[in-house]
Structure 1
Amino acid sequence: MGKLVLLDTRLFAPGADLSGASNKVELSSEIEDKETTNYRSGGWKEVIGGLGSAEIAAEGQWEAGDPSKVDDASWSTLGGLGPYTVCPTDSVVGALAYLVYGLRTDYKVGDQVGEVAPWTGTVKSSSPLVRGQIAHPPGAARTATGAGTALDLGAVALGKRMWAGLHVLSAAGTTPSITARIESDDSAGFASPVTRMTFDAATAPGGQIARTDGLAITDTHWRVAWAITGTTPSFMFAVSLGIR
């Protein structure tokens, strides 16, 4: 991926796609430096890494009146934890994605007369910031049990984890329910898939995060699969995956 102009950045809150109401998204991450300078440091300051943190700051045009709108989504998540996914250049399968489980810490609306009503908000991390890919796109409606496209994300080393964020954006039908899971295999054909994580059953818009247990996984290919039940069910959802 070369240099780019930000034209199609995507922002997913726990149960809402805020991309169409956003015109600025900033993602930052830092590691706290802790000084360890001593008499044998050769006259130079020495530091080691301490606590890590990440933050998403976003803003855009205010809208309300539906759970998918920024005002409704912001009020419902303010003070709560959930998954947030940011994609610099669209959210097709395989697109670059940054995932974090974070706390929605603030929400601000309003401006002077004559201005387009704005909003601003911040999310602060409660998990590592994960760099990965989109495993399921938000624009594909699913009405039956199935599986997504295989991604070659690589093996998971000992002490690392595969992280997954699920954003259920809409649910329709009578008693609809979706249970998503993350599978791995040693090849793209998924001849013998292994379930590594299973999300709780979802019946309405919302978000969940899951991770593996820190043990080594030699499988290199990953995908999301799902089981859907109900009468004429239909779900729109997005899933991001990454190793950290």
Structure 2
Amino acid sequence: MGKFVLFDTRLFAPGADLSGASNKIELSSEIEDKETTNYRSNGWKEVIGGLGSAEISAEGQWEAGDPSMVDDASWSQLGGTGPYTVCPTDSVVGALAYFTSGMRADYKVGESVGEVAPWSGTVKSSWPLVRGQIAHPPGLARTSTGTGTALNLGAIPAGKRLYAALHVLSAAGTTPSITARIESDDAAGFATPSTVGTFSAATAPGGQILRGDGLAVTDAYYRVAWTISGTTPSFMFAVSLGIR
């Protein structure tokens, strides 16, 4: 990806797509520096890495009246933790995505008379920030059981984990239910897929996040698969995958 202008940045906050209500999204991460300077440091300060943290801040135009809108979503999420995914440009399958499990730490609304009603908010990480890819796009409705596109994320070395975030953005039908899982294989054709993680069944908009056990995995290809049940069910959802 070369240089580009921010035109289509995406923000998914548990069960809401806040992209259309946002005009500024910032993502930051840092590792604490802990000093270890001693008499053998040759006159230079020495540091090692301590605790890591990440923060997502966003702002935009205020809307309310539906769970998918920023005011309803922000109030329901305030003080709680869940998955948050940021895509610098678009959210098609394979698009670059940063995601974490974080706590919605603050929410602000209001401005001077005559101004477009704004909002702003911050999420502080509870899990590592992961750099990955979109495994399922938000704008594609699913009405039956199926599988997504294979992504070549590479093998997982010992000590690292596969992370996955699920954002169920809408659910329709009578008693609709979706259970999503992450599968791996050693080839893009997925002739012998293995399930490496399963989300809880979802019947309404919301978000979930999971991670692997830290053991080495030789498979290089990963995809999302889902089982849907109910009467005339229909789901819109986004999934992000990554290794850290």
- TM-score class normalised by the smaller sequence: over 0.9
Aligned letter for 2:39? Y
Q: Distance in 2 between matches of 1:34 and 1:76?
A: 37
Structure 2, unmatched stretches of 5+, are: none
Superposed CA offset, 1:15-49 (max 9, x none): 00000000000000000000000011111100000
Shift of 1:93: 0.1
Alignment of 1:6-21 (within 5 A): 6-21=6-21
Q: Distance in 2 between matches of 1:125 and 1:179?
A: 25
Q: Distance in 1 between matches of 2:137 and 2:111?
A: 34
Aligned letter for 1:103? M
Aligned letter for 1:24? K
Aligned to 2:120: 120
2:20 aligns to what SS in structure 1? helix
Shift of 1:165: 0.2
Matched, 1:178 2:178: yes
1:20 aligns to what SS in structure 2? helix
Alignment of 1:105-144 (within 5 A): 105-144=105-144
Superposed CA offset, 1:174-209 (max 9, x none): 000000000000010000000000000000000000
Alignment of 1:5-154 (within 5 A): 5-154=5-154
Alignment of 1:168-207 (within 5 A): 168-207=168-207
Aligned to 1:237: 237
Q: Distance in 2 between matches of 1:78 and 1:239?
A: 22
Aligned letter for 1:207? G
Aligned letter for 2:145? T
Q: Distance in 1 between matches of 2:103 and 2:6?
A: 25
Aligned letter for 1:62? W
Aligned letter for 1:167? H
Superposed CA offset, 1:95-154 (max 9, x none): 000011000000000001100000000000000000000000000000000000000000
Aligned letter for 1:67? P
Structure 1, unmatched stretches of 5+, are: none
Q: Distance in 2 between matches of 1:15 and 1:51?
A: 29
Aligned to 1:218: 218
TM normalised by structure 1 equals: 1.00
Shift of 1:14: 0.2
Q: Distance in 2 between matches of 1:240 and 1:35?
A: 36
CA RMSD of aligned residues (A): 0.3
Superposed CA offset, 1:42-88 (max 9, x none): 11100000000000000000000000000000000000000000000
Q: Distance in 2 between matches of 1:154 and 1:69?
A: 36
Matched, 1:3 2:3: yes
1:73 aligns to what SS in structure 2? helix
Shift of 1:210: 0.5
1:30 aligns to what SS in structure 2? strand
Shift of 1:90: 0.2
Aligned residues: 244
Aligned letter for 2:188? A
TM normalised by structure 2 equals: 1.00
